[in-house]
Amino acid sequence: MSEQERELGVVRIWQEDAVHLGVVWTDGKQSSFDTRLLRQLCPCAVCEADRQAGRFVVGDDVVPLRVQSVGNYAMKIVFSDGHDTGIFEYAWLHERG
Ligand SMILES: [Zn+2]
């Protein structure tokens, strides 16, 4: 992990609309994330196991209910389908935003 990635943080995060999250990063970059896509890409062990078993299904109507910071390196998104174990690392998000 580079020096820059270690220091990467969130200055501001807000909900742009029902499904989009806006993020301003400490390096000045601004990102917009479709949380339905993040739900699809959820890196947690449960989703990973479901994907491998071919039974990973996410509804189209899933919206984010809450966003919590995890340590100083990631955020957790609580989704309306009850899923709350997805930890999205800042470096991973920053790369995709
Ligand atoms: Zn998951």
> How far is the C-alpha of 34 from the C-alpha of 29, rounded, in Å?
17
> Looking at the 3D structure of the chain, how many domains does it have?
1
Question: 60 CA to middle of ligand 1, Å?
Answer: 15
Residue 7's pLDDT is: 82
| 29-47 pLDDT, tens digit each | 999 999 999 999 999 999 9
- Looking up residue 82, the CATH number of its domain turns out to be 3.30.2020.30
Q: Which structural domain, as residue segments, surrounds residue 54?
A: 3-96
Question: 50 CA to middle of ligand 1, Å?
Answer: 9
| 10-28 pLDDT, tens digit each | 999 999 998 999 999 999 9
> What is the pTM (predicted TM-score) of this model?
0.87
Q: Which residues are placed with Cβ below 5 angstroms of ligand 1, an ion?
A: 42, 44, 47, 86
